[in-house]
Amino acid sequence: MDTTQTGPYRTSPSLRSFMPRVLLQALIDALNDAGFRCVGPKVRDGAIVYETLRDVSELPAGMQDVQEPGRYRIESTGTPRMFAWANGPQALKPLLFAPSEVLWYARRQADGSLAFEADLPQEKPLAVFGVRACDLAALAIQDQHFTQQAHGACTDPYYAKRREEMFLIAVNCTHPASTCFCASTGDGPRAQQGFDMALDERDDGFLVTCGSERARAILDRMGLVQASGEQIDEAMRATDDATQRMTRSLPGRNLRDALFARLDHPRWEEVAERCLSCGNCTSVCPTCFCHSEHDLQQIDGMQSQHVREWDSCFTRGHSQIHGLTVRPDTRTRYRQWLTHKLGSWHDQFGRSGCVGCGRCITWCPVGIDITEEATVICREQP
């Protein structure tokens, strides 16, 4: 499966098109007609989340998120812009790697034998609007894990089926939250690759950068005009400004050796005194992929379901091996999260597991900040 869409427009700014705001509905309709289920950002329960998108009026026009450690709220700004916010609690992860799903059934046959049946996804392919650069970077990591046999394992057919035809409409980020640091990890705020289309939002419409042949087929039918040099310069300036406004950063892009040299640092104990071991950080993290599996048996013994659910390195059961809990306390669990995410991830995937989305900071109920913890631990000599 080629998950890195390439196309003639992406690398050539002169081939960006201008799409008036009114044509966004035509794009949604064209993708629906092409057999996709459109998904886009909407306001629900006080947060911006991905849901089925049928009409442009459902997008969060004039809404902006305000994020701080342990805090998220949205407020109305009155602008016509629909993507003037940073991110919500979800990335693309739940759309591809379901929080809970039945992988297969085992059914007892009349002759007493067992028949096994996989339950592969049957849904329409998704077209996702509003994807951020950090989430595209996270998707590339998840692709490595689930479909490119990163550890000699097999391709995951559940993820691969959903990923195969997924159509991605990125929107370059001009409103980073205070918790964002994608510039520090090199993953944003401008989407560089892995999209079908990337939009730069303006008050009067969008600049559209085409990233795949299938996107070009749709855009060609819409009769868009070429963007002006001035429009392109403004778009580039807007994401450059976003970069400048980010105040958080990690102390380096490869902290593997620094972290593993400090496994006995007293800060692990200090952070453990605050950490609730709730696992929120791993749930919202777009790159975390740990899961557990269990069987649900029918009471008459005729059928069982094999279920996969998201798990977290913060749970007790996650490190239980042959009755022994390898990481019995919050200190060792937090240390596992950080040393894997920012350290041994490099051995597995050739890069850090953090794309700087800031979600683990915002959605941590006690506001633990990965950039602060990594900085303190790596700053001092062991």
Which amino acid appears at position 1 of this protein?
Answer: M
* Residue 176 is a binding residue for ligand SF4 (CB under 6 A): no
* Between 142 and 280, CB nearer to ligand SF4: 280
* Between 172 and 280, CB nearer to ligand SF4: 280
Which amino acid appears at position 303 of this protein?
Answer: Q
Q: What's the min distance (Å) between Cβ of 183 and ligand SF4?
A: 12
How many DSSP H helices and E strands does the chain contain? 14, 16
The stretch among 92-100, 139-147, 224-232, 364-372 that binds ligand SF4 (CB under 6 A) is 364-372
Instruction: Give the C-alpha separation, 314 to 364, whole Å.
Output: 13
Reference 188, options 128, 255, 257, 140; nearest CA is 140
Q: Count the site residues for ligand SF4 by CB under 6 A.
A: 25
* Residue 278 is a binding residue for ligand SF4 (CB under 6 A): yes
* Residue 364 is a binding residue for ligand SF4 (CB under 6 A): yes
Q: What's the min distance (Å) between Cβ of 95 and ligand SF4?
A: 16
* Between 365 and 382, CB nearer to ligand SF4: 365
Q: What's the min distance (Å) between Cβ of 329 and ligand SF4?
A: 12
Cα angle vertex 244, ends 243, 250, to 5°? 70
Q: What's the min distance (Å) between Cβ of 134 and ligand SF4?
A: 7
Q: What's the min distance (Å) between Cβ of 252 and ligand SF4?
A: 14
* Between 156 and 369, CB nearer to ligand SF4: 369
* Residue 362 is a binding residue for ligand SF4 (CB under 6 A): no
- Spell out the residues 6+ positions from residue 223 whose beta carbon is closer than 8 angstroms to its own: none
CB atoms within 10 A of CB 270: 13
Q: What's the min distance (Å) between Cβ of 336 and ligand SF4?
A: 11
The stretch among 45-53, 206-214, 284-292, 300-308 that binds ligand SF4 (CB under 6 A) is 284-292
* Between 28 and 342, CB nearer to ligand SF4: 342
- Spell out the residues 6+ positions from residue 332 whose beta carbon is closer than 8 angstroms to its own: 268, 326
* Residue 246 is a binding residue for ligand SF4 (CB under 6 A): no
Residue 56 structure tokens: 């442009």
Cα angle vertex 273, ends 268, 276, to 5°? 105
With CB under 6 A as the contact rule, the residue among 77, 192, 193, 277 that binds ligand SF4 is 277
Instruction: Give the C-alpha separation, 141 to 345, whole Å.
Output: 10
In the numeric block, the tokens 């650069």 are attached to: 133
Subset of 95-154 contacting ligand SF4 (CB under 6 A): none
With CB under 6 A as the contact rule, the residue among 160, 169, 255, 285 that binds ligand SF4 is 285
| Backbone CA torsion sign across 189, 190, 196, 198 | positive
* Between 60 and 356, CB nearer to ligand SF4: 356
* Between 15 and 376, CB nearer to ligand SF4: 376
* Between 80 and 99, CB nearer to ligand SF4: 99
Among left, alpha and beta (phi > 0; psi -120 to 50; other), residue 205 is left
- Spell out the residues 6+ positions from residue 23 whose beta carbon is closer than 8 angstroms to its own: 205, 222, 224
* Between 64 and 371, CB nearer to ligand SF4: 371
Reference 171, options 259, 113, 233, 242; nearest CA is 242
Residue 352 structure tokens: 């850090």
With CB under 6 A as the contact rule, the residue among 1, 263, 276, 326 that binds ligand SF4 is 276
* Residue 287 is a binding residue for ligand SF4 (CB under 6 A): yes
Reference 192, options 244, 132, 242; nearest CA is 132
Q: What's the min distance (Å) between Cβ of 380 and ligand SF4?
A: 21
Subset of 332-361 contacting ligand SF4 (CB under 6 A): 341, 354-360
Q: Which helix (H) or strand (E) holds 191?
A: none
Among left, alpha and beta (phi > 0; psi -120 to 50; other), residue 237 is alpha
* Residue 314 is a binding residue for ligand SF4 (CB under 6 A): yes
Q: In the complex, which residues of this chain contact ligand SF4 (CB under 6 A)?
A: 275-281, 284-287, 314, 341, 354-360, 364-366, 368, 370
